[in-house]
Amino acid sequence: MRAIVLSAGYGTRLWPLTEDRTKPAIPILGKPLVGYVAEYLAGHGIDEIVVNLHHRPESVRRALGDGSRFGVKLHYVEEPVILGTSGALDNTREFFERETFVVVNGKIITDIDLSAALESHRKAEAIATLLLLPNTRRERFSVVETEGDRIKGFGGMPVETGEGPAPLMFTGIQILEPRIFEYIPRGVFSHSTTDVYPQAIANGETVAAHVASGKWRELSTLGRYLDISIELLKEQRMSYVAGANTLIDQTATVSDSVLWDDVKLGASTQIHRAVLADDVTIPDGEIIENAVVVPRQLVAGKTRPEKALPGHFRGENFVVPL
């Protein structure tokens, strides 16, 4: 079985970490985010994966290689112009016109039982099955409206203090039949939840809802990236993670932090709840807390994306408070 991992987005809410790489290429405890997705799919018998690329495509190629270390065979397809979630499928339809296939967002880490969802998809004889989770924290993920085991539509954001059952949210994992291409416009930008599924539902197609359980982590903002990294560290009983060639002075203190490659911490530095990107040097005695730090040269002269958090230059670094 084949799958596509959607990896073409800009990751603007993760800037400046995405200035020199795309979101799925960001390391999570030393492994690229998209590597977790590849391993997840391989664990459910899906060993041939298409990865769509646009922003900084070389960063994903570098992170994944041919896919063999993650147990999969990879095909890369570049989008000169970004095409959206269903436009990406149109651009790769020759891979998926023969049998059931899976689509996964490249920014998640999960242990949801995909094999159980595939079984329920076949029983429902659906054109598409979306894997959903109860949004118990009522986070800002669009509400998916259901009737029985079918999708009815897609709503706005959940009410933060709402009562009653938790609203359902889409996990970014979906199972599709090749017939879905009848509803995907050719050669243009389009999104599945706004352009494709509403049309299919209106035409009487079964778009099934598979309400799953399990761990699901979505890393789309700097805050979520740090919080989820710390969660994963605590699960492994670690206080921090340090990448290759990182040098930490013996008088430095580090906790609840993520250090990428070639980081240097000077004497008596204090690092707490922080992300230090490649090639960051923290001078002697400096304190970094609740912040993301990249080298000044990485972003000097660059325009901050509209959705990105503001930061400031501090010596040879650029610091984004969280």
pLDDT at 162: 65
pLDDT tens track for 237-250: 999 999 999 999 99
pLDDT tens track for 120-137: 999 999 999 999 999 988
Is residue 38 within 8 Å of 71, Cβ to Cβ? yes
pLDDT tens track for 39-69: 999 999 998 999 999 988 898 898 888 888 8
- In this structure, of 64-68, 203-207, 281-285, the range with the lowest mean pLDDT score is 64-68
pLDDT at 152: 95
Kindly state the average pLDDT of the residues 10-27. 91
pLDDT at 60: 87
Look at domain 2-218 and name its CATH class: alpha beta
pLDDT tens track for 291-301: 999 999 999 99
Q: Where are the alpha helices (DSSP H) in the chain?
A: 33-42, 57-64, 84-91, 114-124, 197-202, 222-235, 296-299
The domain spans of the chain are 2-218, 236-321
Full DSSP string of 120-157: HHHHHT-SEEEEEEE-TT--S-PBEEEETTEEEEE--P
pLDDT at 267: 98
DSSP 218: E
pLDDT at 257: 98
Position 71 pLDDT exceeds 70: yes
pLDDT tens track for 141-195: 899 999 999 999 998 888 776 677 899 999 999 999 999 999 999 999 999 999 9
Kindly state the average pLDDT of the residues 76-90. 93
pTM for this model (two decimals): 0.90
Task: Quote the mean pLDDT of the chain.
Answer: 94
Q: In what order do the strands lie in the sheet with 73-78?
A: 73-78, 48-53, 2-6, 101-105, 168-176, 128-134, 207-211, 150-154, 144-147
pLDDT at 23: 87
pLDDT at 160: 73
pLDDT at 115: 96
